[in-house]
Amino acid sequence: MGLPEMALIMVIALLVFGPKKLPEIGRSLGKAIRGFQDASKEFENQFKLEAQQIEQGLNTPTPSESDQITTKEVATAEVDTAESNNHATTPSQKS
């Protein structure tokens, strides 16, 4: 929007609202635009924060995954220990 268009809009606004109401309307419009910009920035910051948290969550294992890994490791260790104990006691039983 160029300068001539802005001037035409201002003249029409002056004629419609009058010189007494125009500053009040300008202030209200400015506050509304400022509020919209603030809300937009807050939404954008919150969105970025949530995206970072999701990205970090995808890179680290969840507690259930680590619990499953630990449980599998413990079960494997117990089986290995039991097998080695069986092999160790079997020759002595034969003697």
Tell me if 67 is assigned to some domain. Answer: yes
Tell me if 3 is assigned to some domain. Answer: no
Structural domain containing residue 14: 9-89
Angle CA(24)–CA(30)–CA(33) in degrees, nearest 5?
140
Q: Is 20 exposed, middle or buried (0-12, 13-18, 19+ CB in 10 A)?
A: exposed
**Predicted confidence (pLDDT) per residue in 4-33, tens digit:** 998 999 889 889 988 889 889 889 999 999
> Considering its fold, how many domains does the chain have in total?
1
49 close to 61: Cβ distance less than 8 angstroms: no
pLDDT at 95: 47
Tell me if 2 is assigned to some domain. Answer: no
Tell me if 49 is assigned to some domain. Answer: yes
Tell me if 37 is assigned to some domain. Answer: yes
Structure tokens at 75: 């079960």
Tell me if 95 is assigned to some domain. Answer: no
**Predicted confidence (pLDDT) per residue in 44-81, tens digit:** 999 999 999 988 888 776 656 555 556 666 666 666 66
Other Cβ atoms within 10 Å of 17 Cβ, number: 14
